[in-house]
């Protein structure tokens, strides 16, 4: 019982800090995404493709969360955007306080958007609000089409699903329609994109949507706006 009480206290404390982060983002009109997925689903590659297309059109900073190494922050920083690496030293998810600390190294007043790449983990990060406008869950076709059913909380708590590595569908045991239907059975409100960072398929559509969200946030509207189903 005591463990459950402590866990609830941890989550309550996290939510209080997440609210502070969210207020801070809103005050600066900055749109913030929390990207979550299994390890190796392609979050960093999607980020690279996104920065390649958008870095000269909007001002984006990236916060990278990893158990160890700053490999991802280095990949992202190569695009000339501000990048802060959080190393959790074994921790399985980012918490709002870690993001709050990382913001000390970021000038929100000079930004339009912050993209947070969470630790690769399809379970634990689903419980932790970081103050983001929404969670974006990335599912790779190589993981199979049953993952939304087996890890439902992450799909339930996300607003957007990016089905990545669509170029590998001919070689893997994954049905794109089944993967999308399984995800929508858990969360009918998901906005869905299908992308490949190898062929660039779907990246333009994702970036166009992201630009529109950033524009809405700068007008003070995105965080609260309901997101429709994208096909």
CA 103/CA 225 separation, integer angstroms: 25
Tell me the β-bridge partners of 85. Answer: 64
Nearest alpha carbon to residue 94 among 71, 68, 116, 79: 116
CB 156 within 8 A of CB 190: no
Residue 66 or 132 with smaller CB distance to a second copy: 66
Which of 100-108, 119-127, 130-138, 215-223 is the region at the interface with a second copy (rule: CB under 8 A)? 119-127
Work out whether 63 is an interface residue with a second copy (CB under 8 A): no
Which of 18-26, 108-116, 121-129, 216-224 is the region at the interface with a second copy (rule: CB under 8 A)? 121-129
Work out whether 109 is an interface residue with a second copy (CB under 8 A): no
Work out whether 82 is an interface residue with a second copy (CB under 8 A): no
Residue 108 or 153 with smaller CB distance to a second copy: 153
CA 73/CA 58 separation, integer angstroms: 19
From 8, 10, 220, 229, residue interacting with a second copy (rule: CB under 8 A): 10
Q: Which of residues 137-176 bind a second copy (CB under 8 A)?
A: 140, 142-144, 146-147, 149-153, 165, 167-168, 171-172
CB 162 within 8 A of CB 136: yes
Work out whether 71 is an interface residue with a second copy (CB under 8 A): yes
From 15, 27, 78, 123, residue interacting with a second copy (rule: CB under 8 A): 123
Q: Is 208 exposed, middle or buried (0-12, 13-18, 19+ CB in 10 A)?
A: exposed
Work out whether 77 is an interface residue with a second copy (CB under 8 A): no
3-class DSSP assignment, residue 37 = strand
CA 176/CA 179 separation, integer angstroms: 5
Query: Shortest distance, CB of residue 18 to a second copy, whole angstroms?
Result: 18
x/- mask, a second copy, residues 202-231, rule CB under 8 A, reads: ------------------------------
In the block, residue with structure tokens 């160890």:
68
From 19, 23, 27, 39, residue interacting with a second copy (rule: CB under 8 A): 39
Work out whether 16 is an interface residue with a second copy (CB under 8 A): no
CB 26 within 8 A of CB 133: no
**Alpha helices (H) in 68-166, listed in sequence order:** 71-77, 96-102, 147-150, 152-156
Residue 85 or 213 with smaller CB distance to a second copy: 85
The backbone region for 164, taken as left when phi is positive above 0, alpha when psi lies in -120 to 50, beta otherwise, is beta
Query: What residues line the site for a second copy (CB under 8 A)?
Result: 2-3, 6, 10, 38-41, 66-69, 71, 90-92, 119-124, 140, 142-144, 146-147, 149-153, 165, 167-168, 171-172, 198
């Amino acid at each position: 019982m005591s463990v459950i009480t402590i866990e609830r206290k941890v989550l309550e404390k996290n939510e209080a800090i997440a609210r502070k982060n969210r207020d801070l983002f809103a005050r600066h009109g900055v749109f913030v995404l929390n990207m979550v997925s299994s390890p190796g689903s392609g979050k960093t590659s999607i980020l690279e493709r996104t920065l390649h297309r958008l870095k000269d059109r909007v001002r984006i900073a990236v916060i990278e969360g990893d158990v160890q190494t700053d490999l991802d922050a280095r990949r992202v920083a190569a695009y000339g955007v501000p990048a802060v690496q959080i190393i959790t030293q074994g921790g399985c998810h980012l918490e709002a306080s870690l993001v709050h600390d990382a913001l000390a190294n970021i000038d929100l007043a000079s930004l339009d958007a912050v993209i947070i790449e969470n630790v690769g983990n399809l379970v634990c990060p689903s419980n932790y609000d970081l103050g983001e406008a929404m969670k974006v869950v990335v599912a790779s076709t190589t993981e199979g089409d049953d993952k939304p059913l087996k890890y439902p909380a992450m799909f339930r708590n996300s607003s957007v699903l990016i089905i990545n590595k669509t170029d590998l569908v001919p070689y893997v045991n994954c049905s794109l329609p089944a993967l999308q239907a399984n995800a929508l059975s858990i969360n009918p409100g998901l906005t869905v994109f299908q992308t490949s960072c190898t062929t660039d398929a779907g990246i333009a559509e994702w970036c166009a949507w992201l630009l529109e969200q950033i524009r809405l946030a700068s007008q003070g509207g995105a965080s609260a706006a309901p997101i429709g189903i994208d096909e």
